[in-house]
Amino acid sequence: MLAALITLDGEIIARKKQPTHRASSDKEFLSGIAKLVHELLDDRTDFECLAMGIAFPGPINAEEGIILNTPNIGITDVPVAKMLEKEFHFPVFLSNDVNAGILGEYKKGAGVGSRNVVGIFPGTGVGGGLILNGHLYRGSFGGAGELGHMIIMPQGPMCGCGKRGCLEALASRTALSKELVHLAAVGDAPTVHEFAGTDYKMVKSKVIKKAMQNNETRVIDSVKQNAYYLGIGMANAANIFNPDCIILGGGLVEKLGDNYVKWAAKSMREHGMKDHVENLAVKAASLGDDAVPLGAGLIALERLGNGK
Amino acid sequence: MLAALITLDGEIIARKKQPTHRASSDKEFLSGIAKLVHELLDDRTDFECLAMGIAFPGPINAEEGIILNTPNIGITDVPVAKMLEKEFHFPVFLSNDVNAGILGEYKKGAGVGSRNVVGIFPGTGVGGGLILNGHLYRGSFGGAGELGHMIIMPQGPMCGCGKRGCLEALASRTALSKELVHLAAVGDAPTVHEFAGTDYKMVKSKVIKKAMQNNETRVIDSVKQNAYYLGIGMANAANIFNPDCIILGGGLVEKLGDNYVKWAAKSMREHGMKDHVENLAVKAASLGDDAVPLGAGLIALERLGNGK
């Protein structure tokens, strides 16, 4: 959990970080958030807080500020905005972490100077966020941007969503990890085997990075294949949105860095329409962990009517 | 070629139609347009014309009003807007026919009452048009909406664009026609054989309709497969744009009607995310030939600064 104090100009002036644990109750989950925010505010008595924005990596009802079913954190149907408003006496707004992240990057990071930006964030899944004509595009009920569930291979590999052949089933860290534990099992990824055994959930981005540094060639081939599919998703986004830039973010991009972005961009330029991809900028997100809290704050400000 | 007089309220009050022939020169091409427009205006001396909108089914530079390379009509790099402005003494604006069509449907046709609309038009290719937050979304240089070149099958069938596995390579009338002439050749599509032989360019939508009415089962299977792939493209669009409705238009949809739309919608509901497709309206375009000139007129009005 990362909390930040943000000025009206979108500058972060203080941060506090705390690990998230699986909560035994909604109350425990909320008191964890409240404690972190109190600590942050208590340090800055000169700061008048107008609103709180919370970004959450799971299904939400943004309008009503409710976190829906999120099994891996152990909560379900929590009206987090209303509950925190009682504690803090200022308005609380909930948003999706990918939307917050792309808005943060657009306003202060890799997207500065662009007007139409597609954000793609490969990790456990593949998140997507859209800035169109300078605004976050949310769609009819706030469900827009699910680029990870664009089907790019009918009857392809299984996706967590229940379908087959989604971009996420081919270009997430999850997809990559399943290949890498197979390589670990057959003796072609000793570094992966050392840190994760054959448990795909243990294959973190930094383990993948280490295996590549140790020049495990089949691991590198799998990463290239993963980036190749990501590039097809990026090409599709380029053809559909005709953006000024595509921003890649998330743990995989941060850890694997330039090579991964370069491989994905190469595939994009092979698969997209010439005019659409030839000069299209592909950038790595530049704000790191700050993008999401910054974007959450900006969304809160906008909804409060104080946004710029 | 269809010309129409349109009021400021978007009502069509007169129409004239004329077949398009391959022009032997730019001048001949332009004088054909000018003649049709003069005929239309001469009939209505009570009508003061403020602007002309032209929609064109090929690569254009909308900003500068230039038709780029269009081999099947026989013209290349024609500054049609400037040339017609000399003839008519009112401003002329050029737009893409798919954008014009979806805007027409949005304002006066199947999209009335929606705010976010995705238009998909299978024909020779698969065109796409986007109304987002109530406005035509054009992207950074006017290239947005190329849903037909979304790759949904890497290394799949060849597309006219030079890539493989584009939606257009699987769900256009062109893709279907290539299957149907193969069926004609092996004796499984006698109606197709009667009207088109084995020349895929001769397989028009009405020929396909006749073969289906004659219950040629392998033809029907091919149409179903075509609609199945169209549904995957629709599902991807639903996940990405979270629209209020998807409008299907173009010759194939008009001729094959309800069954085709129903098959495509069924596939969409199988392939899209539940919340995004469960209640998503799928509609056939309702304005027929009027949609494109109406939209072209509305785009012209908007660019003139008189749009609503």
| Full 3-state SS string of A162-224 | CCECEHHHHHCHHHHHHHHHHHHHCCCCHHHHHHHCCCHHHCCHHHHHHHHHCCCHHHHHHHH
Quote helix, strand, coil % in chain B, to nearest 5.
Answer: 45, 20, 35
- State residue B86's pLDDT score: 93
Q: Residue A63 has which token pair?
A: 């309008």
The ranges of chain A with pLDDT < 50 are: 307-308
The answer, yes or no, to whether residue B252 has pLDDT greater than 50, is: yes
Contact B16, B32 (CB under 8 A): no
What confidence score (pLDDT) does residue A306 get?
53
Q: How far is CA B46 from the centre of its chain?
A: 32
Q: Residue A55: what are its φ and ψ, rounded to 5°?
A: -105, 135
* Side-chain-facing half-sphere of A70: CA atoms under 13 Å: 23
What pLDDT is attached to residue A72? 67
Which residue of A150, A232, A273 is in closest CB contact with B239? Answer: A150
CB contact under 8 A, B144 and A275: no
Length of chain A: 308
Which residues make Cβ contacts (< 8 Å) with residue B122, sequence separation at least 6?
Answer: B171, B172, B173, B226, B230, B248, B250, B252, B253
Residue B291's closest CA among B147, B101, B143? B101
What whole-number distance in Å separates Cα of residue B99 and Cα of residue B54?
11
Query: Which of A138, A236, A241 has its CB closest to that of B151?
Result: A236
Q: What is the mean pLDDT of chain B?
A: 94
**Which chain B residues are Cβ-neighbours of A153 within 8 angstroms?**
152-154
What pLDDT does B306 receive?
53
0.85 surpassed by complex ipTM:
yes
On whether the CB atoms of residues B287 and B298 are closer than 8 A, the answer is no
Task: Please report the pLDDT score of residue A307 as a whole number.
Answer: 46
B242–A140 C-beta distance less than 8 A: yes
Closest C-alpha among A224, A179, A187, A227 to residue A203: A179
**CB count, 10 Å around CB of A64?**
10
DSSP assignments along B200-238, one per residue: GGG--HHHHHHHHHTT-HHHHHHHHHHHHHHHHHHHHHH
Q: Is B193 on the interface with A (CB under 8 A)?
A: no
- How close A148 gets to chain B, by Cα (Å)? 9
Residue B72: pLDDT band with limits 50, 70, 90:
low
Would residue B162 be called left, alpha or beta, if left means φ above 0 and alpha means ψ between -120 and 50 degrees? left
Res. B91: pLDDT tops 90: yes
pLDDT of residue A190: 98
Question: Which ranges of chain B does DSSP label H, i.e. alpha helix?
Answer: 26-42, 80-88, 97-108, 167-171, 173-185, 190-196, 205-213, 217-241, 251-271, 274-277, 291-304
Count of residues making up chain B:
308
How far from B293 is each of B11, B61, B131, CA to CA, in Å? 11, 18, 17
pLDDT score, position B307: 46
Total H helices, total E strands in chain A:
11, 11
A53 contacts chain B (CB < 8 A): no
- By Cβ distance, the residue of B116, B143, B276 closest to A242 is B143
Cβ–Cβ contact B128 with A under 8 A: yes
CA distances from B180 to A23, B175, B198, B201, B269 (A): 59, 9, 8, 11, 27
Inform me whether the C-beta atom of residue A152 falls under 8 Å from chain B C-beta atoms. Answer: yes
pLDDT tens by residue, B104-153: 999 999 999 999 999 999 999 999 999 999 999 999 998 999 999 999 99
Max CA separation in chain B (angstroms):
60
In this model, does residue B308 exceed pLDDT 50?
A: no
Task: Decide if A51 contacts A92 (C-beta within 8 A).
Answer: yes
pLDDT at B62: 87
d(Cα B117, Cα B106) in Å, to the nearest integer? 7
R_g (Cα) of chain B, nearest Å = 20
Residues A69-83 have pLDDT tens digits of: 776 677 788 999 999
Report the distance separating Cα A193 and Cα A197, nearest Å.
Answer: 4
The pLDDT value given to residue A308: 35
**Do A5 and A44 form a contact (C-beta atoms < 8 A)?**
yes
Contact at CB, B236 and A273, closer than 8 angstroms: no
Alpha-carbon A40 to chain mean position? 24
Residue B157 main-chain phi, psi, to 5 deg: -60, 150
Task: Measure the CA–CA gap between B96 and B209, rounded to whole angstroms.
Answer: 28
Q: DSSP letter at A147?
A: G
What pLDDT score does B27 carry?
A: 86
Judge whether A187 and A161 are in contact, CB under 8 Å.
no
Q: Please determine, for residue B224, whether its predicted confidence score (pLDDT) is greater than 80.
A: yes
Is residue A73 within 8 Å of residue A29, measured between CB atoms? yes
Distant-in-sequence, close-in-space partners of A51: CB < 8 Å, separation ≥ 6: A90, A91, A92, A93, A300, A301, A303, A304, A306
Which among A115, A240, A243 has CB closest to B150? A240
Token pair for B142? 């006017």
Q: How confident is the model at residue B43 (pLDDT cuts 50, 70, 90)?
A: confident
Q: Phi/psi zone of residue B304: left (φ > 0), alpha (ψ -120 to 50 degrees), beta?
A: alpha
Q: How far is CA B202 from CA B70, B127, B195, B223, B253, in A?
A: 20, 21, 7, 17, 18
B19 at A interface, C-beta within 8 A: no
